[in-house]
């Protein structure tokens, strides 16, 4: 007897989702230049998705409360979702088939496992990360990040790299702290940047205000990790105030 294999979802290839989406994606991040992060938004109704297994860590945010049926261990089970519920679907893990009838909007984040591992290593010297699947969990922070990024993208497109990379770093750290099998205690960075590095970073920003600067560029000027740059810069500016 042939056993159906779960459909492999690759956030870097959104066009391959068309066979399962009655309505097309409304927003989809450009694959090039996203540095391991993908964003998509679409609306569906009377929707059914088979078992899936993503290449990336997928986080799904829903636009409203709704009723759904999930096929778990061969049996359909009904679930009620609140407006602040989200789903966390780790890379290479099987997610159950799902169906619902209401019209619903979906925000999807895709994070490459290598990106999460890099941030974990920089934070806690961990070289292996396992994220726990959450078919339904209450997480207002993830929802707020998703809604804020969607609004920013609708207003400015994907041009504000610094804004997006800062939000994605926050999302990745939150994912590690709350949904990893390991207990991550993220290091707090105090003391700020040395004055000369802060001065160089500020000068670089002022000289390139017309450019789409990235977090990595500014971090390179300050000679620090991109993940450390927002908290260190904040601490430095507080010291100057």
3-state secondary structure 175-199: HHHHHECCCCCCCCCCCCCCHHHHH
| pLDDT (tens digit per residue) in 133-155 | 999 999 999 999 999 889 988 98
- Stretch 21-45: mean pLDDT: 85
| pLDDT (tens digit per residue) in 73-122 | 899 999 999 988 999 999 999 999 999 988 999 999 999 998 888 877 66
Q: What is the pLDDT of residue 169?
A: 83
Mean pLDDT computed over every residue of the chain: 78
* Residue 6 C-alpha from the chain's centroid: 22
pLDDT exceeds cutoff 60 at 239: no
CA geometry: angle 213, 215, 217, nearest 5 deg: 65
C-beta contacts of 198-202 below 8 A and 24+ residues apart: 198/222, 198/233, 198/236, 198/237, 198/240, 201/233
Cα–Cα distance list, 217 to 123, 162, 223, 229 (Å): 20, 9, 10, 11
Q: What is the pLDDT of residue 194?
A: 54
C-beta contacts of 11-17 below 8 A and 24+ residues apart: 11/38, 11/40, 11/54, 11/55, 11/56, 11/58, 11/108, 11/110, 12/38, 12/55, 12/56, 12/110, 14/38, 14/40
- 40 phi/psi in degrees, rounded to 5: -145, 150
Quote the pTM value: 0.77
Q: What is the pLDDT of residue 1?
A: 35
**Higher per-residue pLDDT: 170 or 193:** 170
pLDDT exceeds cutoff 80 at 212: no
Cα–Cα distance list, 65 to 23, 104, 171, 201 (Å): 20, 9, 22, 44
Q: Which of 100-104, 127-131, 184-188, 189-193 has the lowest mean pLDDT?
A: 189-193
pLDDT exceeds cutoff 50 at 36: yes
Q: What is the pLDDT of residue 219?
A: 57
The Cα–Cα gap between 152 and 147 comes to: 9
Residues 6+ apart with CB under 8 A from 43: 23, 26, 63, 103, 104, 105, 106
């Amino acid at each position: 007897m042939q056993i159906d294999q779960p459909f492999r979802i690759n956030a870097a290839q959104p066009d391959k989702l068309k066979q399962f989406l009655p309505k097309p994606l409304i927003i989809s991040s450009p694959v090039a230049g996203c540095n391991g992060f993908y964003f998509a938004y679409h609306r569906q109704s009377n929707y059914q998705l088979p078992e899936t297994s993503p290449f990336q860590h997928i986080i799904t945010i829903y636009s409203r409360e709704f009723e759904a049926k999930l096929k778990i261990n061969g049996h359909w089970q009904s679930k009620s979702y609140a407006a602040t519920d989200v789903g966390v679907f780790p890379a290479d893990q099987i997610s159950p088939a799902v169906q619902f009838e209401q019209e619903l909007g979906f925000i999807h984040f895709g994070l490459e496992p290598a990106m999460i591992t890099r941030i974990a290593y920089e934070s806690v010297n961990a070289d292996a990360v396992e994220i726990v699947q959450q078919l339904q969990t209450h997480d207002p922070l993830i929802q707020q990040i998703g809604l804020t990024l969607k609004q920013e993208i609708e207003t400015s497109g994907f041009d504000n790299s610094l804004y997006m990379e800062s939000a994605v770093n926050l999302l990745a750290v939150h994912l590690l702290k709350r949904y990893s099998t390991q207990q991550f205690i993220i290091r707090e960075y105090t003391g700020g940047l040395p004055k000369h590095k802060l001065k160089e970073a500020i000068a670089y920003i002022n000289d390139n205000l017309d450019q789409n600067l990235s977090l990595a560029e500014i971090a390179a000027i300050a000679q620090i990790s991109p993940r450390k740059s927002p908290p260190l810069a904040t601490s430095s500016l507080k010291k100057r105030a």
